[in-house]
Amino acid sequence: MSEGTIEISLTQEEAYRFKVQFSSDTPAMLTDEPAPLGAAAGPSPVELLVSAVASCLTDSLIFALNKFKQPIDGIRTEATAELGRNADKRLRVAKVNVTVHLGHAQAEIERLERILDQFEQFCTVSQSVAQCLPVQLTVVDSEGVELKQSILGD
């Protein structure tokens, strides 16, 4: 079922700090663990995981809004990772919470119900991650009205 390959390489710069290079034209970036292990010179692997889920969900929503020629400006997203211990007392990401704030009130967006019913199904990252851990998604409009709440992976 392969649709392609994404390639990266990590080069250690110091302790837990790595330069991440991509096979595409994407600029290289640094990753690092927070103190006491690292110096937080870049995002940690957990931060990258959470940002990938949040970014992909937001991108999927923007794509769906664009498809129906609806406004996409002013969108912002917040995401958190809930950490916990597994049965072996190892630290794990237990859940990812994502809240997407639309830049407009629901009354200003046509076909919003249809858009909200389907956009998350097109997010490659969240649908993949949700097979292993729950991803809670909330969408609110610019007036703070909750429009959608779901848990992917349940």
Dump pLDDT digits (tens) for 73-98: 999 999 999 999 999 999 999 999 99
Q: Is the pLDDT of residue 154 over 80?
A: no
Per-residue pLDDT reduced to its tens digit, 21-35: 999 999 999 999 999
Confidence of residue 3 (pLDDT cuts 50, 70, 90): confident
Report which of 53, 51, 17, 54 is spatially closest to residue 37, judged by C-alpha positions: 17
The model's pTM: 0.92
